[in-house]
A and B are shown apart, each in its own frame.
Chain A
């Protein structure tokens, strides 16, 4: 598999995502369902706490990437849905929040403010696409 990360010089280099990621050659695609901050009973964890829900969601995604033989360096698409974009951006920029992505190989990203996730206590949902060698 051949992977390329492109940040065209005509555009601002964003610190938290890559503009374009391309892959070609024999590869394995890994699709990960929208991860919510939910426990074993599918109930919200850490009610009202963006930082803790974010880390919980990212930890659960790390587990799933690993189960598929991948890591955060392999993620090519990250989609983030949240009830409060400002609250989440603040948490993601907070230096005390755990870091997950590889700064040298950031995925592409889309962040969307929404009115509701599947449980009113869920503040964040993130889904991923990762690609590794076949």
Chain B
């Protein structure tokens, strides 16, 4: 598998995502469902706490990447949905992020009105690609 990260010089180089990622050759695609800050009973953890909910989501996504034989370095698409973009961005500056700093995934962040439980402040889904 041949993987390329492209940040065209004509565009601002964003510190927390890559502009373009390409992969070719035999590979395994890993699709991970939108992860919410939910416990074993699907109830919200860390109510009202963006940082706590973010850290819980990352822990759960890490379990799933590992189960599929992948790591955060293999993530090519990250989609983040949140009730409050500003609050999440503030929390993101205070936490340790799991992505590879030099080769982060592509990313889309969206402010939404609701997730599947009113106590969920953040949801994140991923696509990762590894060698087949």
CB within 8 Å for A85 and B115 given contacts A11-B63, A25-B132: yes
Q: How many residues of B contact A (CB 8 A)?
A: 30
Contact between B33 and A19, CB atoms less than 8 A apart: yes
Q: Which of A79-134 contact B (CB under 8 A)?
A: 85, 89, 107-115, 129, 131
Contact between B33 and A20, CB atoms less than 8 A apart: yes
| Of the residues B26, B41, B112, B116, contact of A12 by C-beta under 8 Å | B41
Contact between A115 and B113, CB atoms less than 8 A apart: yes
A14 partner residues in chain B, CB cutoff 8 A? 33, 42
Residue of A nearest to B116 (CB): A111
B11 sits at the interface (CB 8 A): no
B87 sits at the interface (CB 8 A): no
A33 sits at the interface (CB 8 A): no
CB within 8 Å for A109 and B33 given contacts A8-B64, A8-B67, A24-B132: yes
Binding site for A on B (CB under 8 A): 26-34, 38-42, 60, 63-64, 67-68, 79, 81, 110, 112-116, 123, 125, 132
